Amino acid sequence: MSKKIYLYGNWKMNNTYRETEKFFEEFPGVYEPFKNDAGLEVGIFAPFTSLWPLSQGAKKCGIVFGAQNVYYEPKGAFTGEISIPMLKEYDVTHIILGHSERRHIFFEPDEMIAKKTKAVLEAGMTPVFCYGETLEERESGNTFTVMERQLKAVLDILTPEEAAKVIYAYEPAIGTGKTATPDQAEEVCKWSRELIGNPKVVILYGGSVKGSNAKELLSMPDIDGALVGGASLKPASFLEIYGAYKG
Ligand code: 13P
């Protein structure tokens, strides 16, 4: 298989500052065999408070690193928020936006996620834009209506050049224990590529990706990589996914 594969770990609210330091004590050794693989891009997205040790560790390993959210205003009276200039001082280049947990637990609306995506692009950084339906929405036959609404909200305010720079991540029904089959994931990623209107955009799949299912998912023609939650928290389980894909 010759396509470039993206293996991104979303740590969510896991791995403290000290645990992140520990992760990188183990990670370089594990990562070594994969380091020179031009067909692979590894990235890790940590909580804000772990960004410093993440940046130090990631730079040593030559991997991409980023945050899991950001606000679109550069500064001001926005208690509890983090701005793009704040992240830039940590050399952050990639930011996850619109994760299903942000949408469903913290009620972030489509318009806010779209504005964040635009602001990140305008700052010269790469948004990892997440979208996807809940289990209820899938079971009621609304998968494509929901995703069209989520994607259109952002595509409406981006230029085609900006839309081409976004990394899209399809993450359905997260946290329900039910995951999409490779065929279902492929169907949505293919459909998304057509809706976005650019065959070259990068589209990841996220939802219980692990060593045992990675090969099948990553072999799908419209899936360019994985956004991995639980299996990214330890170096060995994270890279088992790559091993499975290659093997
Ligand atoms: P899991 O891999 O733990 O199912 O998490 C998926 C996810 O939400 C990644 O962003």
pLDDT tens-digit map of 184-215? 999 999 999 999 999 999 999 999 999 999 99
**In this structure, which residue's CA is closest to atom 9 in ligand 1?**
229
- Residue 97 near residue 130 (C-beta atoms within 8 A): yes
> Pocket of ligand 1, candidates 174, 179, 203: which has the most ligand atoms within 8 Å of its Cβ, to mutate?
174
* 123-147 b/e (C-beta count within 10 Å ≥ 16 → b): bebbbbbbbbbbeebbeeeebbebb
Active site residue 171: yes
Q: What is the pLDDT confidence band of residue 242, given thresholds at 50, 70 and 90? A: confident
Say how many Å lie between the CA of residue 230 and the centre of ligand 1: 6
Q: Does 227 contact ligand 1 (Cβ within 6 A)?
A: yes
> In this structure, which amino acid lies at residue 9?
G
CA 60/CA 28 separation, integer angstroms: 8
Q: How far apart are CA 141 and CA 135, in angstroms?
A: 10
| Residue among 79, 74, 57 nearest 9 (CA) | 57
**Distance separating alpha carbons of residues 108 and 81, to the nearest angstrom:** 13
What is the reported pLDDT for 246? 78
Q: Ligand 1 test: best mutation among 6, 12, 204, most atoms within 8 Å of CB?
A: 12
pLDDT, the chain, mean: 93
Measured between alpha carbons, how far is 128 from 116 in angstroms, rounded to an integer?
11
User: 77: CA distance to ligand 1 center in Å?
Assistant: 32
